[in-house]
Amino acid sequence: MTIQQATEYTHTTVLLNEAVDALGISGERANGIYIDGTFGRGGHSRLILQQLGPQGRLIAFDKDAQAIASAAEISDPRFHIVHDSFAAMTAALEELGVSQVDGILMDLGISSPQVDDASRGFSFRSDGPLDMRMDTSRDMSAAEWLAVEEEEKIREVIKNYGEERFAFQIAKAIVARRQTESITGTRQLAELVAHAVKTREKGKDPATRTFQAIRIFVNKELEDLEIGLDAAFAALSPFGRMSVISFHSLEDRIVKQFFASKVKLEQPDRRLPIRHVDLPQAQMRLLNRIKPSEAEVVANPRARSAILRIAERLPEVVK
């Protein structure tokens, strides 16, 4: 496990060795092309580069300008960084002249430097501007969205993306408060939510689910994930592998269902006169599901909810 430095904030890469080992970078595959869909502070990317052969290539993606600045410290000619979401993978690879890749790693969610830097507005633990954007040059901040969105939509976002049972009360409180003052700070929103939530889960701040929901919505995280998974599968060469780390149930459900859709294809009615070779064939096979060890969770509590899912693309059956 390595610790990456980003200004004064540090980030411990979760499931570092497990996620990279899952790509199977060895032998002839060491000179292949790989993608790190979420560069972050470069923990996975740096380990991939250590394992690549001289002809290998690594293409990384990230929406966060601070992550792009961190990537600029890597002078390896085999490395290329794209300032965009992995949802833009198809267009980016086409522009780079890449048709297929040998492995793709996607580390979802939010990094420790983003959470720990109060100026980013992701955390309710310290006061800061209510921004929450991973790419601060695009789209609306959380504060801007909350200032104009209808109550019903706010309720829907908090309920669906935060799985918050007090979404109705929280949305109502937000709309009522903005009639008298703008909601522009993280602590301001956290205190408002705390007053609206009637009961609290033991050991969890009442604002946790609301902050998660707004962050996911503002950054289009689930939409990007669905697009990114499709793009990743399309780019994978036969026997190419996907290694995906998720940190909460909504992400993991999408990843799990995506892999399942490629493993178990819908079969036609058995009574129809269809040759066996013409039946739909599995497009991927599941290789593993890994959770952090107890030792890793003790060393890095933020790893406790991580789940790594690994799958391999199968070659098409020649008919």
Binding residue numbers for S-adenosyl-L-methionine: 42-44, 62, 86, 107, 114
Whether 198 and 169 have beta carbons less than 8 Å apart is answered as: yes
Find, among 108, 105, 54, 45, the residue nearest to 236 by Cα: 105
DSSP state string for 161-222: HH--TTHHHHHHHHHHHTTTS---BHHHHHHHHHHH-SS--TTS-TTHHHHHHHHHHHTTHH
Whether 223 and 84 have beta carbons less than 8 Å apart is answered as: no
Q: Supply φ then ψ for residue 138, to 5 degrees.
A: -130, 150
3-state secondary structure of 87: helix
CA–CA separation, 101 and 219 (whole Å): 26
CA–CA separation, 62 and 19 (whole Å): 18
Q: Go through 288-299 and write b for each residue having 16 or more CB atoms within 10 A of its CB, e for each that does not.
A: eebebeeebbee
Whether 51 and 71 have beta carbons less than 8 Å apart is answered as: no
CA–CA separation, 260 and 227 (whole Å): 16
| Numbered residues of the known binding site | 42-44, 62, 86, 107, 114
